[in-house]
Structures are given as C-alpha cells and as structure tokens.
Structure 1
Amino acid sequence: MKIEELIVNDNYALPLWEKRGLMPSPAPVIKQLENVTVNFLKSLKAINENSGLDKPSKLKSVQKLVDQLPWDDFDTEEKEFLADVIAPAIESMGFNPWAII
C-alpha cells in the first residue's frame, strides 16, 4: 500500500533534494518535514481504513487533514516537496491530490 510505503521511506533524503535541483534545507527543517509527513500519513491511513466513512466523508476528512498541515512553517520549495510527497498517498485513496492540496 502506498501510504505504508511512504511512512517508512526517507522521503526527504539529501539525494532527493539534489534530484529536485534544490539545496537541502537545514537538518531541523528536514526533520520537521519528515515528522509532519509521517504524522499526516498515519492519520491518512486511519481515515482510509475507517469502513464507517463513505467516500465523501473520507474526502472531507482528508481535506481537513491537509488544511491542518503547518504549511506556514515551510518555504515555497519545502511546501512543494511536502505536497509532492503526500500526493501519491492521497491519490492511492482514489482522490485527486491537486484538487485537495
């Protein structure tokens, strides 16, 4: 499952910054990005596995989760990186991530 794969990945490893043509952010920022991402993905997994929610309810929950991310803590490149990391997880639930993020 895509969400679980992303939870265990090192989503912000230094080579991935270089691949994007970016200088890596400072280590504390990378750690914060990773923590925010893992917490988001764990919550997303719980929403996905909640059989008591119908698809519209799941969408609403995912939107709320995205809105609660600390976007203002990051610069533009970091925000884009975060969005690119979480997008496949949202997509794996059957939603268009770019309509949500």
Structure 2
Amino acid sequence: MERLSFISWQDGPFALELFAVDAIDYLQGKRLEYPERAEFYGAAIVKLRTTIRKEIEFAADAQAVANKGKTKRKDAERYQTSFQAAVKRLKEDLMLLSQAEKEELL
C-alpha cells in the first residue's frame, strides 16, 4: 500500500500512522521512500500536533463524563474504553515528537 502524502484529521488515526512513518524518516534524515513528498512532511508534523491536542481534549471530555456518574453503565463503559484508546494513541503519537515539540505541547 502506498504511503499517504498528506493527511487530515478526518482521515483517522490509521492514515496518520501510515503518513507518520515517512514523516519520522524525514525528521531523522533518512532516505525517503517518496522523496517528492518531503514538502508535505512539515505539514504532517503540524497535523500530528493537532491530532494530539484533539486526543487530549477527547480524553478529558470522556473522563469528565465518566467522573460525573450521570451516564448509564453502558455509556460509562464506552467512554472508559474510548478514553483508554485515546490515551494509548496519545502515548504513541508523543513518541513521534522531538523533546522540543513535546515541551511546546505541554
């Protein structure tokens, strides 16, 4: 499968994952599988930051709803599962960022 040259939030985490592979190679100065896409990788990092921020917001919202206890058990379990998935994605995404980028986010 060809790696993506550009992604958007609507493309979902799988698309982000595929694109991140090339973006990381670019940041690490490795030979790129698709060198003609280098101009897009800066934008990919911006998208990655946006994705991480959205995941933080979603996780916070899900946790707030679960903490209020105003949801049915089924909904609370769904929020908890979503929250755990968001935290996992967040950790994975943070691994892709440099220390300076991590500090900028926090």
Higher RCO (C-alpha 8 Å, min separation 6): 1
TM range (shorter): 0.3 to 0.5
Larger Rg: 2
TM-score of the superposed pair, with normalisation by structure 2:
0.32
